[in-house]
Structure 1
Amino acid sequence: MSTGTALSGLRKAALLLIQLGPDQSAPVLRSLRPEEIEALMAEVAAMDVADEGTRESVLLEFEDMVRASRVRNRGGFDVAEEMLVKAEHEQSREILGRLSTAITHAPFATLRQVDAGLLRPFLEDEHPQTIALVLAHLTSEQAAFVLSGLGDALRSDVAHRLAVMDRTTPEVVRVVEQHLRASLAAMGDARDQVSVGGLDPLVGIISRSQRDTERAILQGIEDRDPALAEDLRAKMFAFSDIVDLDDRTVQVVLRTVDTKELALALKGAAPAVRDKVFRNMSERSAASLQEEVEVLGPVRTAQVEEARSAVVKGIRALEDSGDIIISRAGGGDDLVT
């Protein structure tokens, strides 16, 4: 292969992977689709020896692309359009048309540009199901602000509806959008069913709310659906999240947790979790606990999960009583030390 030969993009990619080697090229391949991997590997397998000039040319081109990507760190429709135009794909025009329609018609896209302070009074008189549907499409920060300003009963109702919401039809989204269009910019309909609500967005909202709002939401859901409230609490703090607690908090937890239960919970735990626990114990206590973990032998996964659940419940009880404070991303509590 000589430097005078025009290389296709596929061949350049294959040559780059060859120079990266098996270990460094593996993460790249894992990010590709099966058909892309097959095409690349076929090119790699068929490639002969490349001269030094060709290898250097490909590497320099890749370096220029990396530098350009650092400068151009903003995406957007115009960037996507430029990429497609330069790719000279035969269906570029059709792809851009569909992309433009999808972006323009994203459900409630305009609401993400509206200040949360304006959204709250706009939404508070709507039906709880409508509010839940809209919150599911907002950012967690916007939704947390809106939810925290609702009355206690309405807030609990909306939070519950958001948690149990799964999918909605384009017709429902369209009706709600048409209802809101008088006060906000026009919004299109969703072409397909869209996933909305569920525990994950509610966890994101709660984690960015004031602690009294968080407790009120959890209590409201507890009154309506205890099992759902337990699932929500489990999502908000898992056993592995112990690594995110400060040392003083971990020490308080260790003084209250049952040692045998803790040993079972640590069975098969990540090294970071074990280290966090052992590091906050006396050397003698840590050695004793480590020995207890080792002598347990094989245990059922269900037993380990049950023990971890018990430890987490103990941590939540300490938080509820005010003995510890668990800081969450975006939370609104200020601490005075």
Structure 2
Amino acid sequence: MNTLASLTRAQKAAAILVAMGKPSASRMLKFFKQEELKALIEAARLLRTIPQADLEQIVAEFEAEFMEGAGLLDSADDMNAILTESLSPEEMNAIMGRGGSGMQEVLTPVWPEMQRVDPARVADFLNVEHPQTSAVIMSKLAPSAAANVLLALEKPLRGEILKRMMSMGVIPDSATQIVENQLRSRVLSERANKDISAGQSRVASLLNEMNKDQADEVMRDLELEGTSDLDGIRARMFSFEDVVFLSQKARVALFDGLSTETLTLCLRGAPAELAEAVLSSISARTRRMIESELGQGADEVTMSDVITARRAIASQAIRMSLEGAFELPSAQSAA
């Protein structure tokens, strides 16, 4: 019987894979590198039986909690069976060095690609994953991308993931690789064909940087050219001028907490209807302060300052709509 202290890292990895059983392990093995698979085979041949308690300790070391309820194992035969059923003879020969030049695979870096995936798509993936796996993924994403994904998750899961992120130590390379392989096969491989929302978001983000007339003109051109899926783009578009189409409740929520300075900047040169839509959605005291400031003029304020402030409010509206605070008027008309 093997003792836990005497096991190598490769033997521990082999123990976990065999304990997972053929269906799950088969999916995992397709994403290991050639030299890693060879090391796993050699390690499995030296294993006999591992008690449940020791196996649980091995899993804990990987800090990922990917498997539950694994039992006792006898490794060498099971590992061979898994490999035989998972890989072709050519792949097996390449792994074991029996002829050929071996498999060469250039893998696309996962995390830059994940940050281009629509946050809702990532959230859907995390909803069916173990919270510890989700915590690993969230810790690897850039903060801006992770924040958008977090907002798309249900609150209970959001809290559970954050708790695990706070208590997480150094993530072993082996655990990270397992996560990356799963993301390649289950998220990134489907993205090009099944997930067009990321592309719609990119186009909408670009149009949101234009003024309303320019963005409307581009959308009309796309429509005349017969471009499909424009409703998905419209649902993600919002400019400061669209404030007049929001409900009173939505406007109150949008302007709550915004600084008087930002609101004043936004209203410089604004049409009367737009100004009233904003002013009627804030407190009487704040309204008087803004109206007084607008009446004094501001020679030092540039149009660039005004545009920047308006885009900041538009971005806030889009973010709040993703959180479910209210629905954008573009989304209502697209429905």
TM-score, with length taken from structure 2: 0.32
TM-score, with length taken from structure 1: 0.32
